[in-house]
Homo-oligomer: A and B are copies of this chain.
Amino acid sequence: MIDFDFFSPTYFAFGRGCENRVGELAARYGSRRILIHYGQGSVVKSGLLDRVRQSLVSYEISFVELGGAVPNPRASLVYEGIKLGRQADVDLILGIGGGSAVDSAKAIALGIPYEGDFWDFYSGKAVPMRSLPVGSIVTLAATGTEGSNSSVITNDYLGNLKNGTNTDLIRPVFSILNPELTYTVPEYHTACGATDILSHIIERYFTNTPEVELTDRMSEAIFTRIMEAAKEALADPYSYEARADLLWGGTLAHNDILGAGREQDWSSHRMEHALSAEFDVAHGAGLAVIIPNYLTYTLEHDPARFARFAVKMFGVDPVGRSERETGREGIKKLREFLDEIRMPKTLADLGIRSDDIPQLLKSVVPNNGDLLGRFQPLTKEDVVKIFELSL
């Protein structure tokens, strides 16, 4: 175990109808004037936005609104939000919707008190020192942004560069999680969300840090339940238990409780960010293509860890198999699970061809000096090979 700091200060309100508590929670943080940022029509059509307005009004909290966040949220809308928020002199940004609206809300919250360009925090040019508080109401079990310190934005002014920032300043002060709000998430996005959740566990599970038995077991507990809950939610979209476990499990998969004391990787995420930036692929769908191939490519780096993954996550029988063979069987089982929830298998399934690899490569942002990831740090050549395996 390596030394760590762990800080997850978000107040989580979880359960049926808890969106009606948004006024109470915002008031608790002293908020008087809010920028509500949401995505596309469903937040309006479902009546959720109306319930939020009503709750805020009953606490005498005023608000301005900005809709239009799209998956892989755009910098252009962030700039609009910063302008609107400054004009209205808001004191809290409330993101409502899937991960995108909340990630945008975080960017707006960082941008309002900053004199420069908010993108400085995403390009690495500046380190965030201040933020308005962020609240969230999440309608999709996926990104874990409701408890995380991260925000990922696609810069449509810079050739769709997709990049993220991480700072405790943008961990939401409160997050409202009602599993019933996710009943109507379509099959494909339910599966994409589950894949994203599993990927957040995988990026922490494949580590070079020794002596991580406690967090290994916690990761295995949540990973196995997420796989089951995904299948249950696809079979019965109105299963409260399945939707609740996806939503809360998704939060725990990414508030870093599973990463405490571990060196983390994040190379699959960065390869996928290239896919979704350049081809507007759904994040989870891109991960479903990349991760099994990433794992296949890095298997030799630590067969024992892959064998554990296979045994604990998928119940692979290690008897009579080498660690390598057991590990390979685990990757196969992961692929079978992704097939079962109808996630894409190849870049071709996403409309991406061999000729596109150079374009993808330009979008992959290293996170370990010139290299990508920490489990088996990848060179550009390695990344090309993983993309080729994914064709």
List the interface of chain A (C-beta within 8 A of B): 1-16, 18, 211, 213-214, 217-218, 220-222, 224-225, 228-229, 240-241, 244-245, 248-249, 252, 257, 260-261
Contact = CB atoms under 8 A, between A and B. Distances in A.
Contact of A225 (B213, B222, B248, B257): B213
16 contacts: A1-B241, A3-B14, A3-B18, A5-B11, A7-B10, A7-B11, A8-B8, A211-B241, A211-B244, A213-B225, A213-B241, A214-B244, A218-B222, A220-B221, A244-B261, A257-B257
Given A11-B5, A260-B14, A214 B222 contact: yes
A15 to B, nearest CB: 3
A6 B12 CA distance: 5
A11 B10 CA distance: 12
Given A14-B261, A220-B221, A261-B14, A249 B214 contact: yes
A137 B354 CA distance: 56
A213 B16 CA distance: 18
A241 B1 CA distance: 7
B4 A15 contact: yes
Contacts of A252: 218, 257
A306 to B, nearest CB: 20
A109 to B, nearest CB: 18
A110 B9 CA distance: 21
B225 A214 contact: yes
Given A213-B241, A217-B225, 19 more contacts: A1-B240, A1-B241, A1-B248, A4-B12, A4-B14, A5-B11, A6-B11, A6-B12, A7-B10, A14-B261, A213-B245, A214-B221, A214-B248, A217-B221, A218-B218, A218-B222, A218-B252, A248-B261, A252-B257
A312 to B, nearest CB: 10
A221 B223 CA distance: 12
A248 B3 CA distance: 12
